[in-house]
Amino acid sequence: MLTFALVFGCLFGGHALVLAAFAALRRGSAPRRRRSSLLASTRYAVEFVGTEALMLTGALELGVIRLSRFSLAGTLATLLAGFLAWEIWFYAGHRLLHTRLLYPLHRPHHAEEGLHASLCFSAGETMLLSSGYYVPLAIASHVSQAVSVPTLVLVFSIAHVLNVVSHLDFDLFGARFEASPLRHLLNSTRYHALHHAGRRGNYGLNTPWLDRLFGTEVAPRVAQGDDLAEGTPSAP
Ligand SMILES: [Zn+2]
Ligand SMILES: [Zn+2]
């Protein structure tokens, strides 16, 4: 119970800090939200963070992840391998969530109007997508003793930051990013905004590689000086 409380507090506090930092960068004022949608999305935020905390607590208590002393090289290798593995897991899981059978789990995230979209996931969706963290973490912790508390803090902090960046309602990178070589390496906020605007595609969160490989990429079209031209994320 103590481990769960600690993990829940760290995840909730960490996410709140990340959101506060991006809110400070935001331009303009947040649109007014209906009270009912705010209540619904608050429920899904608690469901999301609570489920993540339960999964991480379970993984630690059951020995799925075994903590070792901090190693910089081990942590960097775990972050890199974990990022690549999670990109594949997320793309496959996200496509599954858009099937008729599993879409009810994903609907709250797309219907969100109240809180930030990066916080609104049902418990079922969180279990499906977040379980992708545990395969690389379990392997790294048992095979190379590369997982420590700082490793976990970095993994979940970076994941939260990237998730928030994909759901911003302002363009953090600017239109020039779309014309630069970097767009072949990383997705911009516009990319996931198109997915939230109802376009079929852009299932990958952080990189465009798998959408290109499987022909599901919807590339943002931008004019110079343009803001979020096509599709906007649904949250402040
Ligand atoms: Zn989706
Ligand atoms: Zn989304």
What is the separation, in whole angstroms, between the first and last Cα of the chain?
33
- In angstroms, the CA 84 to CA 205 distance is 12
- Of 152, 167, 182, the last residue of a domain is 167
- In angstroms, the CA 79 to CA 83 distance is 6
134 shares its domain with 216: no
At residue 208, the pLDDT reads: 92
What would the mean pLDDT of 57-74 be, rounded to a whole number?
94
Residue 236 domain boundaries = 171-236
75 shares its domain with 107: yes
Q: Separation of 207 CA from ligand 2 center, angstroms?
A: 14
Q: Separation of 192 CA from ligand 1 center, angstroms?
A: 9
- In angstroms, the CA 236 to CA 233 distance is 8
At residue 40, the pLDDT reads: 83
Q: Separation of 114 CA from ligand 1 center, angstroms?
A: 17
DSSP count for the chain of H helices, then E strands = 10, 0
204 shares its domain with 112: no
At residue 228, the pLDDT reads: 46
Q: Separation of 25 CA from ligand 1 center, angstroms?
A: 25
- Of 143, 167, 191, the last residue of a domain is 167
- In angstroms, the CA 100 to CA 71 distance is 44
- Of 140, 167, 194, the last residue of a domain is 167
Q: Which of 75, 85, 217 has its CA nearest to residue 157?
A: 75
157 shares its domain with 210: no
Q: Separation of 189 CA from ligand 1 center, angstroms?
A: 14
Question: Which of 31-40, 49-58, 71-80 is the least confident region?
Answer: 31-40
103 shares its domain with 132: yes
Query: How does pLDDT run across 117-166, given as a tens digit for each residue?
Result: 888 999 999 999 999 999 999 999 999 999 999 999 999 999 999 998 89
Say which ligand is closest to the CA of 166.
2
* pTM score: 0.86
Question: Is the residue at 199 inside a domain?
Answer: yes
**Of 32-46, 64-78, 167-181, which one has max mean pLDDT?**
64-78
Q: Separation of 142 CA from ligand 2 center, angstroms?
A: 32
In the chain, the number of structural domains is 2
182 shares its domain with 84: no
Say which ligand is closest to the CA of 91.
1
155 shares its domain with 235: no
96 shares its domain with 42: yes
- In angstroms, the CA 33 to CA 125 distance is 24
47 shares its domain with 160: yes
